């Protein structure tokens, strides 16, 4: 556990000193974490491995620019995936026991994500 702590600390330090323009997380990364959630939010399957993805993503997204880019990725994912039940999508963080301070919805204003 100590090693993991040290690695996380190093990652946090690297993230803290990285230029803002490179800090933003890529949508491909967001999608690969959240892929297991697609069946659930489109009413086609169970929660399955979804929470593992949500928690994994939550664990790597720390900075505000990262959160804003994740927010934008979620918006475009929600907008481009047909049949998403937004009440299920919005309930996902709660289902998985993580706190995401904005709603996953195509109408979310990602520039207001500040914490």
Ligand X SMILES: *[C@@H]1O[C@H](CO)[C@@H](O)[C@H](O)[C@H]1NC(C)=O
Does 103 bind ligand X (CB under 6 A)? Our answer is no
CA separation for the pair 11, 79 (Å, rounded): 32
CA separation for the pair 68, 51 (Å, rounded): 20
Binders of ligand X among residues 7 to 66 (CB under 6 A) are: 43
Size of the site for ligand X (CB under 6 A): 4
Q: Which of 35, 79, 85, 94 binds ligand X (CB under 6 A)?
A: 85
Kindly state the smallest distance separating residue 42's Cβ from ligand X, in Å: 9
Count helices and strands (H / E) in the chain.
7, 0
Binding site for ligand X (CB under 6 A): 43, 85, 87-88
């Amino acid at each position: 556990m100590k090693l993991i702590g040290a690695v996380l600390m190093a990652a946090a330090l690297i993230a803290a000193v990285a230029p803002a323009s490179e800090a933003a997380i890529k949508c491909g990364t967001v999608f690969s974490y959240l892929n297991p959630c697609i069946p659930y939010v489109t009413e086609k399957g169970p929660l399955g491995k979804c929470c593992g993805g949500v928690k994994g993503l939550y664990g790597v997204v720390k900075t505000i620019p990262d959160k804003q880019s994740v927010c934008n990725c979620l918006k475009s994912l929600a907008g481009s995936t047909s049949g998403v039940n937004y009440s299920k999508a919005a309930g996902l963080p709660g289902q998985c026991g993580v706190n995401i301070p904005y709603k996953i919805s195509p109408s979310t204003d990602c520039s207001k994500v500040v914490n």
